[in-house]
Amino acid sequence: MNIHFHPCIWAVLAGFSLTACYKDIDLEKYRPEPTLVLNSILSPDTVVRVQIARTVFFTDHRETDTNIADAEVRMSVNGRFVETLRYDETSRMYLSDYRPLVGELISLEADSPLGHVSGQGIIPEAVSIESVRLTARTFDDPDQMYWTPDGVTYGKSYEVTYYITFTDPSEERNFYFIRIESGDGIAAETIDYSYDDVFLTQQGVIDGVTTDTGIYGNEGRTFTDDLFNGNRYTLKIVEKSPLYTDDSRPRKVILYSLSEAYYHYLTGIFNTDEESVNGNLVDFGLMEPSPHYSNITGGTGIVGGVQSQSFRVDLKSVLK
């Protein structure tokens, strides 16, 4: 027996099926208690600065003020209490009068109505860049194909290889971050790190698989001395870009020495959301907490140490 439904019946049934798919959900009942955030990046180039904030729920407005200005923040050096930091309205951070030294253990703790948090960090030794050697090639780029009355023509691109040499201290495991900037402090053109084993090895650990498709990024890259501990080493990094003019192309190569905690913090961020990163690594930790790594007890955030050395070159010397 065949059963036929009038078109109006189908419309009613469809309406029931649609309304059954929707339900109001009160997300506020899932809101957790806010967590204290403590961020501080230690450098001998500046006084100790600490940011105290709270975490936000994902439904909160992006401009929600999370800063906490009424905390008590204390600092100890090598286990000895030094001072209670003062709050600065302009920077919205807690400031010390103390510039930390290499190798000192800086301990920070904060109390607020949200609870108690603490963390500590050490500034590593700076490692100098001994030399930067450049090689280059220019080529017709198939990605820049143009049609002209005379036929197809190709725009020029360049590929510059940086050979960055430094000597790694042998006393302990060391952690680094390398960055190449243009003359105005902005990240350089497309950088490919896949030409050096230190980055390939790290990528395999992160992804679970190593490929030869390139490891790209403009803002920089972390690495360790696991493959060259205590030895002189030359990093190989390649920059690629269209060659529009023959103007000067100054570059600043920066080698950052990181504390282990800061290395793990940066590695997690740079391999998931590099676009959130720019500027000086001394300021980099003073932002929203990372879900990837924290060394803060009682809350989240980072206390890290950093030093840097730089070397200036000009690509014009090899882009003839």
For residues 177 and 230, membership in a common domain is answered with yes
For residues 116 and 136, membership in a common domain is answered with no
* Number of other residues whose CB lies within 10 A of the CB of residue 153: 11
What average pLDDT does the segment 224-230 reach?
96
pLDDT in tens, 36-73: 999 999 999 999 999 999 876 444 555 567 899 999 99
Q: What is the rounded CA–CA span in Å between residue 152 and residue 145?
A: 7
For residues 75 and 206, membership in a common domain is answered with no
pLDDT in tens, 79-89: 999 999 999 99
Which one of 92, 123, 154 terminates a domain? 123
Q: What is the rounded CA–CA span in Å between residue 98 and residue 85?
A: 10
Q: What is the rounded CA–CA span in Å between residue 77 and residue 103?
A: 10
Residue span of the structural domain in which 264 resides: 129-291+307-317
Query: Is residue 5 a part of any domain in this protein?
Result: no
Q: How many helices (H) and strands (E) does the chain have?
A: 4, 16
Query: Is residue 302 a part of any domain in this protein?
Result: no
pLDDT in tens, 261-308: 999 999 888 766 555 454 556 555 455 556 678 999 999 999 999 999
Which has the minimum average pLDDT: 10-24, 237-251, 296-310? 10-24
CB 105 within 8 A of CB 79: yes
Which one of 123, 157, 180 terminates a domain? 123
pTM strictly above 0.85: no
Residues forming a β-bridge with 136: 160
User: Among 123, 166, 79, 117, which Cα is nearest to 260's?
Assistant: 123
pLDDT over 50 (residue 93)? yes
State the pLDDT at residue 1. Answer: 42
* Number of other residues whose CB lies within 10 A of the CB of residue 315: 22
Look at phi and psi of residue 277 and say left if phi exceeds 0, alpha if psi is from -120 to 50, else beta: beta
pLDDT over 50 (residue 78)? yes
CB 94 within 8 A of CB 52: yes
For residues 142 and 171, membership in a common domain is answered with yes
**DSSP structural state of residue 297:** B
Strand order in the sheet with 232-242: 129-148, 151-167, 232-242, 190-192
- Of residues 151 and 89, more confidence is placed in 89
Structure token pair of residue 126: 């700076």
